[in-house]
Structure 1
Amino acid sequence: MTQPSTISVQAPTPKIRTVTFANPPVNLMVPETVHRLREVVTQFSDDPQVQVVVFTSDTPGFFINHFDLAQAGELLTQDADATPAWIDLVERLSTAPFISIASIRGRTRGAGNELALACDLRYASREQAVFGQPEVGIGILPGGGGTQRLTRLLGRDRALEVVLSADDYDADTARQYGWVTRAVPDADLDGFVDAMASRLASFDKGTLQTAKAQISQVTLPPRTELLAAYTAFAASLTSPAFAARAQEMGKLAEQKGLDVELRMGDYLAVANQQI
């Protein structure tokens, strides 16, 4: 269901960059996406002009989707004897000397949601954005920082609901929970994000950077937590629970096609009932 990931970069102004994802039909995260994003974040961090980076999608119905588990082994192999590429990416993004904004229109689950959570600000289309951490429903564990960041943003009980239910959540619920910064009418989303990016780009970069660092000291999960979660995720990929549920989800995907990605929360419940 995937083809090589495409990430394009534009510079609408000298201080603003836009990173656009396009991996149709459902914008799955793949190893190439992770490595390319790390390159982009590193490049922007080293550029003294870049002050604001906006992440968006060019695939209708999807922001950034979950990781393509068929390619998880490739990513894990590349991580041997080094900091996992994913952990390095989200740490670099969270601590970058620029302000990152996720402009979310469509579904963002699993690794896609974890990337959005690593951004500084998240603005969601009220009508089109959908959020989820579906891992537990398929017998594995979130490994990209979802549990650590959601707990800090939502509190223990709502983080438990989100992670354990493995269900889909609409933008208004996500806003109420503190999952996103704001839910904006879809017709206004692009204009709102552009205005915020332009406003931040007009401020002093050093002051923005210091203010972000002060808040990050209090709110960001330490690397030890992220690494522990990633290790647990990698181990869970070999569990019988995952094998059984992946098989059932595969059958549903063959029968229902794209609808499984559109309504993943519903289909996870169906798959578990068949086991």
Structure 2
Amino acid sequence: MDIDPLADTVPPRYAVESDEEDEYNPLEPKTAESEPVTTPEIKLAGSIPKDRPLIFASGDAGKYWAKGIKLGEQAGSIYVNKIQVGLVFAPSWSKSTVIVSETFTRLPLNYIHDYAEFILNELKPNSVSLLDVYSSPTYISPEPIAQQDAPIRYLSTAPADSTSKSTAQPFSPPNMIHSNTSAALMSLIASDPSQSLKGTLFLLPFPKIPTPPPKTLKSSDFSHLSEDEYQWSESFMNTAQNILFAAVGESISDGEAAAWHTPKNSHPPTSSAKASTFGEGGMYI
């Protein structure tokens, strides 16, 4: 039978109950294709210092930043259902623990809250600074801003420090953050009843809309680690890095060990890699 797609309500039951030749039934419940809603198994491997500041870098910004900074030997890993999702470092030039998240695989939406909660409960940081991206073409501002002029923007659960205010601009409403794990962490920090933990999220301008999370957790894929969707300038990344650490009370501007350099193992993605990018869903803050 024909169904009017503009109708306010679905047709009565007798109108869709017919013989076996009917191919469409609007009353038939849809089957979920996403990963079942289950509690993921999350584990932290390695000897990781706790009760320290936490630097959490994820998304395209986190991946690119991690390539240009000397984080030293990996100190641990965070596994979700036995798949490595987070890389943990304790660089000698910093008093912070650094997590580079979702570079090999991305979390489905129904795992993100548990993952973020696990990190905060397990590491018990005294302050958190996050690095991610925002879509500069879709950012709502009084006047259009070209990508090359788009600023670093920030969100903070407490008054921002002077370094952040002088270098970055607030991420203002009605804009929304598409960075799922970063959004979950900031939400948990903001809703902490004790209000003892401060979180600051720094967002680098990204010339595309970041892809939403996948339906299911895939195995780690190392084949595209040298490909970066966007490459920020060296001076821009050093500025971002300085305010990233300043937000947790660290100054790392002195010394070559902590300087950020343009990675040699970085190039734009191939056409086949672009075609394979896919995701669904989203979490916003």
Same fold (TM over 0.5): no
TM-score, normalised by the number of residues in structure 1: 0.29
Q: Greater helix share, 1 or 2? A: 1
Q: Which has the higher contact order (CA 8 A, sep 6+)?
A: 2
